[in-house]
Amino acid sequence: HVNEGFLYISQVLSLNWMVMCGMPLLNTKIVGGQTATPGSWPWQASLQSSGRHFCGGSLINNQWVLTAAHCFSSIHPNLVVVLGLQNLQGSNPNSVSLTVSQITVHPNYSSSTNDNDLCLLKLSSTVTFTSFIQPICLAAPASTFYTGTTSWVTGWGTTRSISNTLQEVSIPVVGNRQCNCDNGLGTITNNMICAGLSAGGKDSCQGDSGGAMVSKQAGRWIQSGIVSFGTGCAQPNFPGVYTRVSQYQTWINSMISTNQPGFIPFCSRILFFNPLLIFRFI
């Protein structure tokens, strides 16, 4: 039957984009702390109000963007989401701008504690995937991101001023216990994940909020966090704090009824040291 054939094809296409999440076609090498190569992070979104960038986000399927709740603590007129963007100014031949039909802040978000700092944006129309526009995979429940796990953050946030060109930086995960000590006991909840260098110097900053923190596993990039808050930027012994994505599969899937995002377990490698042997487990 013709209708059954179309249904089958649509189901296969849906499965294909889920299978391909987190696998950018143009991310062929890793360089950190500098300008990102165009197409390296194809899930990166720029949230813009009246033509000005104010937050980042990540494309998680063909019609939804994941970002931070605190990005919507105020009203943003003429809101658009720009995908496939490299430069905030000038030519961007691979970019697409879409309006937003629905803004859903997590119902338990607390602006005073920064807990549950996430928000879903539904685009007014579906987006066509290209080499420069692809979805990111999301960390499934029970994912483990142990201290030292290599992570990457991208955005147009503050360096000395708002960066015109998409930037990337590599930072290691900092355990929640240490992060609680650094940021103040009771500050870090189980819904958060931290990353940064004890010496400082590398971090996300203002303007990066809502963007993705990702780690690579078996050739696939998985989003572990959403840029949330921190004490200053890149300060020694003050790691940045991110919303822990693996805590929210149930809520995200309850908001997205079709073409649900690809949730994939991330398992950190653990090193056990012995004077004679090193055993590595995955």
Residues with Cβ within 8 Å of residue 63, at least 6 apart in sequence: 122, 123, 125, 126, 127, 259
- Of 209, 215, 224, 228, which residue is the catalytic one? 209
Given a contact cutoff of 8 angstroms between Cβ atoms, the answer to whether 261 and 64 are in contact is: yes
- In the DSSP assignment, the letter for residue 200 is -
Longest Cα pair distance anywhere in the chain, in angstroms?
67
Provide the CA 177 distance to its chain's centre, in angstroms: 23
Could you identify the residue written with the tokens 């994939």?
Answer: 264
241 beta partners? 194, 229
CA torsion angle for 234, 72, 254, 225 (degrees, to 10)?
A: 0
Q: Hey, what are 168's tokens?
A: 């990337």
Give Rg (Cα) of the chain: 18
Could you identify the residue written with the tokens 């007014």?
Answer: 124
Q: Phi, psi at residue 205, to the nearest 5°?
A: -155, -175
Has 53 been annotated as catalytic? no
Tell me the torsion sign for CA atoms 34, 38, 40, 46.
Answer: positive
Has 76 been annotated as catalytic? no
- Of 115, 117, 203, 208, which residue is the catalytic one? 117
Which residue from 106, 268, 110, 115 is spatially nearest to 191, judged by alpha carbons? 115
Has 117 been annotated as catalytic? yes
What is residue 266's three-state secondary structure? coil
- Of 46, 53, 58, 70, which residue is the catalytic one? 70
Query: Residues, the chain, total?
Result: 282
Query: Which amino acid, residue 138?
Result: L
- Which residues are marked as active site? 70, 117, 209
